[in-house]
Structure 1
C-alpha cells in the first residue's frame, strides 16, 4: 500500500509532464542522442571526475554527430557543434537567455552580466565603457608597471627550479584588475579585506560550482546541505561579500574627494554613479573581478608555458619583440602589440587548445530551426555550445590535438572556417573583456619574454587538462625561468 501511495503520484506527474511537454518531446525525437532513463535522463552519464568531463562530451559528438540531445532530469539539452549554426544561434534574439547551469553561480555573483537575468543588459551597458579601447589605453600604464614587477619576480627564480608560474601571474593580474576595473590606487589595492583568501580559494569555489552543476543529487537542497557543500558555499560568499564591501567603500570615499575622467572610470565607479544598490554593485563587481583577473592569469600562464615547451616559437617571439619594441624597459604600446604576429599566433593557439569556457549554455525562448531546417529547437530547450570540443574538431582543424601556432599563419587561416574559432563567444552575450584581456596578457608576456628565458620538460600534448568552469592544466603551469643575457639584451640594456 505504501509503495502504491508513493509511486502513483510519481506516475501521474510523469504522465502530466509528458502531456504538457508533448511538443518538446516530439521535436526532441528528431535529434539523435543516447537512451535516457526515466526521471534521471542521462545524468548518470556525466557522473565523472572533472578531468573526464571533456572526454565525455567529445564522445557524444563522436557517436552521434554535430547535433546531440541529452536529458538532465526533465531538462532537454541539445548540443550543437556546427559552426554556421553556432554563429546564427548566438547572434539570434531567440536565445538571449543564459542556461539553467548559470543559476549555480548566482549565490556568488548574483544575476547579471555573467549569469543573465532581467537586468543583465543594463549592467552590461553600464560596464562596457570600462572595457573599450580608450579605457584600455589608459590602463596600459598599470599593465606595464605590474608586468615589470612580474618580470623581476621571475628573473629572480632559481633557473634549475621548476615551479608553477600561475600563482605569480595571478598576483600580477589581480593587481592590474584592482588598479583598473576596480578603480583602486596601488596603495588601496594592498589593503583589500580578504583579497588573498579570495584569490587563493577561487579555484576551490569554481570546483564546487562545477561539481554542483554536474552532480544531479547536489541539486536537491537537503543533500547539498548534508554533504557540507552548503557550508562551503556560505564561507565563500562571506569572504566575497566582505572583500567587495571593502572595495566599494574605498571607491565611495575616493569619489567624495576626486573626480575621475569618464574615459578612465572603472566599473565600480560607473555602478556607483549609476546609482545601483550596494548589493547589486558587489555582485556585479565580483563577477567582473574574477572573470578578469582569474581568466587572464590562466591564459597568460598558458602562453608562457607554451613558449617554454616550444623553444623555436619562444625564439621567434623574442626576436620579434626586439625588432618591434627593442630591449629597453619602456612601456609597450597597443600599436606595438598589434605588430607582434608570432605572439598573436601563440596566443590564439592557447585560446584554441584550452578554451576560456569549455562550453556555454543558452535557453531557447522561441522555436528556431537549425541543420538546414531539419531540426527545430523547442521553447525551453537548453542549447549547449561546446567551444572546447569545437576547437578540437578534425573537420575544422588539422591535427587538432597537437599544439601548432603556425595554424594561425595568414596563409593557413584562409583555409579555416571562421565560425569554428570562437574563444570569446559571439553575439550580445559575448565576452565583455576581450580587448582588456588581450592587451593585458600580451603586455605581460612581452615584458617577461624580453627579460626571461623559459624552459619546460616533456610535451605539451601529454599534460592533462581539467574543466572547472574554464579549462586549465590539471597539474599546474610548471616551468623554469632563466634571466636573459643574450643577443645584447641583458638586464642592463
Structure 2
C-alpha cells in the first residue's frame, strides 16, 4: 500500500496568497481614484455645490436601500439645501441637477446637447434607435419625418377614436360606483386601447387576443424599466441578466415585437395589393396641404397651448398652418408605410417598428399618469370640479353626444386645469442629457464640463416661487393669459422644450380633453386624500406610491349655481 504523506505548508506562502491580490486590488483602486481626482471632469464638478462624497463611490451610497418615494424626498431635500444647481457623483459619473428656467433653456434650446443620458439605454431592447433614444442625423431625419404625422388634420381624424374609447372606459368604471378604487388602472387601459388604434390601426373589432396580450406586455415592460431605474444594482447589465426580470423582459418583448412586426407586414402587403389595384391612400402631403374648407376658421382659433408654448416654437407649430379639416383616418403606422413605399422617406421596416414601439411607450404611461392626477385633484377641489362641469354643461347641455374638435376649443377652463395639473405633477419629472462640450449656465456662471450628465428638474422648476406666486397650491388661474404672458417660457416644460420637445404634445392635450370631459360629464370625482398626503415616486414617470385612489358618483346633469 502506498502511503501519501502530507506536504508541510509554509505559513508565509498562505499569507502571500492572500496579501498579494489585496495589494493588487488596492493599487488599482488607488490609481483609479488618483486618475479620477486629477481629471478635468472631477475638478470642474467639485466646484459645484453638492453633498460630500465617498472615494470611488461618490454619492451613490446615499441612494442605497431607498424606496422610490424616499429617493424623491432625498432629491427635493438636497435642492432645498444647495439651491437650483446641485452636483452629485455616481461613482465616476458626474450628475448635475438644474432647477432654474434660465439654466434649463441653455441646455434644452441647444442644437448640440441633444444626446440622451446613458440611463436611456434601458429602453434599447424595446425601442431600439427610435425617436426617444436616437441622436445625430438619424434622429434629425426621423424627427422631420414623424412631426408631420401629428398635423392637426390627422389629430382631428382621431377624435372619433378618442370619443369611443372614452365612452368605453366610462362604461367600465360604472362597476366601481360607491367604491374606493385606483383610477390609474382604467386610465392605463384606455390609453393603450387608443394608442393601438391611432398608432397601429388595431381596433376593438379587429383586435384578437394578441391585442390584449400586447397591452399587458407594454404595461409590464414599463414596470421592469421602472425597476431598473430605482434599484441601483439592476442598472448593471451583467447583474440584470441574472435576475428574473431579464427572462420576463425577453418574454414581453417577444409579444410586443411579434405583434408590431406582424401588423407592419400585413399593412405593407395590403398597401402593395391596393396599389396594384390602383387604390392609393392620400399621401401625408395631401392630407396636410393648404386648402380653404368650411371649418378652416378653426385653424386660427388659439388655444392655451399656443400661448404657453409659443416661446419655444418648434416643428410642431409649422405643421398646423391653414388647417384643411378632417380627412380619412390613417394610423401613424399607415402614414409611415405609405411614406416609405412612395419614396418620400428612406426608412426600413425595422426602423418603422422602432418608431411605432416608441410612440406606444411615450404615449402610454405619460397620459395615464397625467389623467389620473387630474381626476384625483378634482376629487379634492370640488369648487374647481364644479366650474369644469359648468363649462362642459354650457357646451353639451344634458346631452350625451360625443365631443367635436370645435367643442375642445371651447374647453378653456378644463384646459387650464389640465395645464395646472401638469405643472404640479409633470408625468416626466426630469429630463436627462449628456454634455458634448463644456457649457456655461446662467446661475453663478458655473461651467459644466463635457461628459457630465445634466438632469433638468422639471418638477422643481414648475414649483419655483420665482415663476409662480403660490407654487404648491393647485390653481388653474396660473394659466390665465395675463399670468402667462410675461412668464419665462422655460418655467413650464411638461413636454420638454427646444429641438427635442415631445412630438406628441398636441395629440396628448386633445386626447386628455376628450377623455377627461367624457368622464366628468358622467361622474363626479371624490377624494379625501389631499396633495400634502401624496407619496410621490419618480423613476421614469411621476406616480403615487399609494395609488390614485378615488370614488365616483353618477353625475346629475344640471349646472351648479353659485
- Output the TM-score relative to the length of structure 1: 0.90
What SS does structure 2 have at the residue aligned with 1:69?
strand
- Whether 1:314 aligns to 2:419 is no
Match of 1:29 in 2: 46
Alignment match of 1:251 (pick from 261, 267, 281)? 267
What SS does structure 1 have at the residue aligned with 2:89?
strand
Once the 2 structures are TM-superposed, how far is the Cα of residue 436 of structure 1 from its aligned partner? Answer: 0.2
Once the 2 structures are TM-superposed, how far is the Cα of residue 115 of structure 1 from its aligned partner? Answer: 1.6
Match of 1:342 in 2: 413
Once the 2 structures are TM-superposed, how far is the Cα of residue 471 of structure 1 from its aligned partner? Answer: 0.6
Any idea what the Cα deviations from partners look like across 1:386-417, whole Å, max 9, x if unmatched?
11122223443344333333333344445754
Q: Output the CA distance in 2 between the equivalents of 1:415 and 1:42.
A: 39
Any idea what the Cα deviations from partners look like across 1:241-267, whole Å, max 9, x if unmatched?
223223323422442336432334433
Once the 2 structures are TM-superposed, how far is the Cα of residue 136 of structure 1 from its aligned partner? Answer: 0.5
Q: Cα distance 1:253–1:168, how it changes in 2: closer, same or farther (>3 A)?
A: farther
- Whether 1:276 aligns to 2:347 is yes
Q: Output the CA distance in 2 between the equivalents of 1:148 and 1:456.
A: 22
Once the 2 structures are TM-superposed, how far is the Cα of residue 447 of structure 1 from its aligned partner? Answer: 1.7
Any idea what the Cα deviations from partners look like across 1:278-319, whole Å, max 9, x if unmatched?
333223211111211332222222222222222211111111
Equivalent residue runs for 1:56-75 within 5 Å: 56-75=74-93
Q: Output the CA distance in 2 between the equivalents of 1:84 and 1:301.
A: 30
Q: Output the CA distance in 2 between the equivalents of 1:330 and 1:259.
A: 33
- Whether 1:130 aligns to 2:141 is no
Q: Cα distance 1:218–1:293, how it changes in 2: closer, same or farther (>3 A)?
A: closer
Once the 2 structures are TM-superposed, how far is the Cα of residue 123 of structure 1 from its aligned partner? Answer: 2.2
Match of 2:222 in 1: 206
Match of 2:29 in 1: 10
Match of 2:243 in 1: 227
Once the 2 structures are TM-superposed, how far is the Cα of residue 28 of structure 1 from its aligned partner? Answer: 1.7
Is the 1:68–1:79 Cα contact (8 Å) retained in structure 2? yes
Match of 2:103 in 1: 85
- Whether 1:364 aligns to 2:435 is yes
User: Which deviates more, 244-253 or 82-91?
Assistant: 244-253
Once the 2 structures are TM-superposed, how far is the Cα of residue 370 of structure 1 from its aligned partner? Answer: 0.8
Q: Cα distance 1:468–1:251, how it changes in 2: closer, same or farther (>3 A)?
A: farther
Once the 2 structures are TM-superposed, how far is the Cα of residue 176 of structure 1 from its aligned partner? Answer: 1.8
- Whether 1:43 aligns to 2:60 is yes
Once the 2 structures are TM-superposed, how far is the Cα of residue 204 of structure 1 from its aligned partner? Answer: 4.2
Q: Output the CA distance in 2 between the equivalents of 1:297 and 1:259.
A: 36
What SS does structure 2 have at the residue aligned with 1:226?
coil
Equivalent residue runs for 1:277-292 within 5 Å: 277-292=348-363
What SS does structure 1 have at the residue aligned with 2:158?
helix
Is the 2:114–2:135 Cα contact (8 Å) retained in structure 1? no
Any idea what the Cα deviations from partners look like across 1:119-176, whole Å, max 9, x if unmatched?
222222222122221210111122122222233333x335322222222333322222
Match of 2:511 in 1: 440
Unaligned runs of 5+ residues in structure 2 are 1-19, 288-328, 341-345
Alignment match of 1:176 (pick from 190, 194, 199)? 194
Match of 1:141 in 2: 160
What SS does structure 2 have at the residue aligned with 1:33?
coil
Once the 2 structures are TM-superposed, how far is the Cα of residue 214 of structure 1 from its aligned partner? Answer: 4.1
Is the 1:465–1:473 Cα contact (8 Å) retained in structure 2? yes
Match of 2:254 in 1: 238
Q: Cα distance 1:137–1:220, how it changes in 2: closer, same or farther (>3 A)?
A: closer
Q: Output the CA distance in 2 between the equivalents of 1:157 and 1:99.
A: 43
Q: Output the CA distance in 2 between the equivalents of 1:478 and 1:259.
A: 48
Match of 1:406 in 2: 477
Q: Cα distance 1:185–1:160, how it changes in 2: closer, same or farther (>3 A)?
A: closer
Alignment match of 1:114 (pick from 120, 132, 135)? 132
Is the 1:32–1:69 Cα contact (8 Å) retained in structure 2? yes
Once the 2 structures are TM-superposed, how far is the Cα of residue 74 of structure 1 from its aligned partner? Answer: 1.4
Q: Output the CA distance in 1 between the equivalents of 2:448 and 2:151.
A: 35
Match of 2:447 in 1: 376
Once the 2 structures are TM-superposed, how far is the Cα of residue 373 of structure 1 from its aligned partner? Answer: 6.5
Q: Output the CA distance in 2 between the equivalents of 1:472 and 1:216.
A: 19
What SS does structure 1 have at the residue aligned with 2:70?
helix
What SS does structure 2 have at the residue aligned with 1:180?
helix
What SS does structure 1 have at the residue aligned with 2:260?
helix
Is the 1:127–1:270 Cα contact (8 Å) retained in structure 2? no
What SS does structure 2 have at the residue aligned with 1:85?
helix
Is the 1:464–1:474 Cα contact (8 Å) retained in structure 2? yes
Once the 2 structures are TM-superposed, how far is the Cα of residue 87 of structure 1 from its aligned partner? Answer: 1.5
What SS does structure 2 have at the residue aligned with 1:105?
helix
Alignment match of 1:260 (pick from 267, 277, 281)? 281
Once the 2 structures are TM-superposed, how far is the Cα of residue 488 of structure 1 from its aligned partner? Answer: 8.1
Q: Cα distance 1:348–1:225, how it changes in 2: closer, same or farther (>3 A)?
A: same
Alignment match of 2:119 (pick from 93, 96, 101)? 101
Is the 1:360–1:385 Cα contact (8 Å) retained in structure 2? yes
Q: Output the CA distance in 1 between the equivalents of 2:219 and 2:194.
A: 19
**How many residues were matched structurally?**
484
Q: Output the CA distance in 2 between the equivalents of 1:116 and 1:53.
A: 28
Unaligned runs of 5+ residues in structure 1 are none
Is the 1:132–1:436 Cα contact (8 Å) retained in structure 2? no
Q: Output the CA distance in 2 between the equivalents of 1:15 and 1:178.
A: 53
Any idea what the Cα deviations from partners look like across 1:96-128, whole Å, max 9, x if unmatched?
111111112111111231123342222222221
Q: Output the CA distance in 2 between the equivalents of 1:270 and 1:346.
A: 33
